Amino acid sequence: MFVDHKGLLRLIPSQLTRPIGLMYQHIITALSRRKEAEITLHKSYKQLESYSKMLDNEMEKGRQIQKSFLPDQPLEIPGWETAAYFKSAYQVAGDFYDVFELPCRCVGIVVADVCDKGVGAAIFMALFRSLFRIFSGHAALKGFTIEGTDLQCGEIISASEEPPTASYPPKVLKAVQLTNDYVAKYHGDLGMFATVFFGVLYPVSGSLTYINAGHDPQYIVTPSGGVKAQLNPSGPAVGIDPQSRFGIEQTILEPGDIMLGYTDGVTEAISQEGNFFTTEKLLASLNRPIKSAAELVDRIEKRVAVHMGKAEQHDDITLFAIRRIPLNESGT
């Protein structure tokens, strides 16, 4: 057994020593370079792993921040109950829902879906949500403002009166127009937009005045099951064209009725076989009697989960329901 290459070379005729020595030196050099490459590669893996962990941490921070944009607890509305379900396809999402009090003792309801997925959609989700809240609260931003010094949602009406007519729509719904104009003017070159359902609920009467900006039809469901009204689109998606105009529609929720809001992540949930959940299956989920908003949301969520099985979720899923509690349940 030879200890080193010098000992080896002493046993080789002198005329062969030089070429063999050179070859051996090349081998030693190659092995040395390979070892250096392995060390460098190992360091690169460590750096990549560190960068990946850092990226995951930043994405988790983003997810937590975005989560804080959603209502952290149900808004307490006398005579009403709400329920919601939200599940993002990735760490951050483009879907969102919002329920908030308005200056006129009414309630704002928003269900929206920003185009695209991931970080870009999440950033615009925050922008849209903020603009809706700002503009519906009578604030000015870069020249966009609701006219007048006092924001009016329309007259508050009792349960026995007719809901306000479309001739006198709540000024708060101008938030949709202002948001559209702002996004289209300042961010239109990015091609980002959102489909939006924005409703103003009069809790006393059950009147719901709304704009559906390119969003899927939302539904009014009866307590015995079945769709009472379909809240169809009344305008295009928000943020595409500053010239867009949005129609205002109205409906009314009777005691026991539920308004169901959702995004297309529900109807387009994909099974392991590649099939959509579909609007038909969603409507089938509404045909049985419904005791509460929470029961309806839970029923749909479970059916979508069964449909998907172990398939990967490709889109954000949002469900929101608000129910007018009958007098015999409210104890009044």
- Residues near 193 by Cβ (< 8 Å), separated by ≥ 6? 114, 115, 183, 237, 238, 239, 240
Residue 155: the pLDDT is: 40
By mean pLDDT, which of 65-79, 131-145, 191-205 is the weakest? 131-145
Q: Which residue has better confidence, 100 or 144?
A: 100
**239 in a domain, yes or no?**
yes
Scanning the structure block, which residue is given the tokens 């026991």? Answer: 256
pLDDT of residue 116: 81
**CA 230, CA 108: separation in Å to the nearest integer?**
19
Q: Which residue has the higher pLDDT, 34 or 304?
A: 304
**CATH number, domain with residue 175:** 3.60.40.10
What is d(CA 89, CA 110) in angstroms, rounded to the nearest whole number?
20
Judge whether 299 lies within some domain. yes
Contact by Cβ (8 Å): 96, 69: yes
State the pLDDT confidence band at 157, using cuts at 50, 70 and 90: very low
User: What is the value of pTM for the model shown?
Assistant: 0.77
Spatial neighbors of 79 by CB under 8 A, at least 6 apart, are 203, 324, 325, 330, 332
d(CA 63, CA 70): 11
Q: State how far the Cα of 38 lies from the Cα of 30, in Å rounded to an integer.
A: 12
Rounded to 5°, the CA angle 121-261-128 comes to 30
User: Can you give the pLDDT at residue 158?
Assistant: 39
At 55, is the pLDDT very low, low, confident or very high (cuts 50, 70, 90)?
A: low
Q: According to the model, what pLDDT value does residue 145 have?
A: 57
Q: φ, ψ for residue 45 (rounded to 5)? A: -60, -40
In this predicted structure, the answer to whether residue 254 has a pLDDT above a threshold of 90 is: yes
Q: Where are the alpha helices (DSSP H) in 137-253?
A: 174-187
What's the first-to-final CA gap in the chain, in angstroms? 100
Query: Residue 183, class by beta-carbon neighbours within 10 Å (0-12 exposed, 13-18 middle, 19+ buried)?
Result: buried
Sorting pLDDT into bands at 50, 70 and 90, what band is 156? very low
Q: Would you state the pLDDT for residue 167?
A: 36
Burial class (CB in 10 A: 0-12, 13-18, 19+), 109: buried
User: Is residue 54 one of the residues assigned to a domain?
Assistant: no
More confident residue, 75 or 152: 75
* Side-by-side strand order, sheet with 249-252: 95-101, 107-114, 194-202, 207-213, 249-252
pLDDT for residue 71 is more than 80: no
Query: For residues 114 and 104, is the Cβ–Cβ distance under 8 A?
Result: no
Whether 24 is in a domain gets the answer no
Q: What is the pLDDT of residue 119?
A: 79
Tell me the CA distances in angstroms from 270 to 94, 125, 309, 310, one per residue in order.
Answer: 18, 23, 9, 10
Residue 49 structure tokens: 């792993």
Rounded Cα distance between 104 and 116, Å, is: 35
Burial class (CB in 10 A: 0-12, 13-18, 19+), 173: buried
Q: Return the number of other C-beta atoms located less than 10 Å from residue 197's C-beta.
A: 28
Q: Of residues 268 and 54, which shows the higher confidence score?
A: 268
Residue 103 has pLDDT above 90, yes or no: no
Residue 18 lies in a domain: no
For residue 235, the cross-strand partners are 213
Asked if pLDDT for residue 21 goes beyond 70, the answer is: no
Across residues 107-132, what is the average pLDDT? 88
How many domains are there within the chain? 1
Determine the structural domain holding residue 97 and report its residue range.
71-330
Length of the chain: 332
Residue 42 lies in a domain: no
Check whether 57 has a pLDDT greater than 60: yes
Q: Which range has highest mean pLDDT (55-59, 145-149, 152-156, 309-313)? A: 309-313
Is the model's pLDDT at 8 over the cut of 90?
Answer: no
Within-domain flag for 237 = yes
* Dihedral sign of CA atoms 278, 279, 285, 288 in order: negative
pLDDT attached to residue 2: 42
The predicted structure's pLDDT at residue 66: 63
Give pLDDT tens digits for 271-302.
999 999 999 999 999 999 999 999 999 999 99
- The Cβ of residue 220 has, within 10 Å, a number of other Cβ atoms equal to 18
Give a yes or no: residue 17 inside a domain. Answer: no
Model confidence at 149, pLDDT cuts 50, 70, 90, reads very low
Q: Are 121 and 191 in contact (CB under 8 A)?
A: no
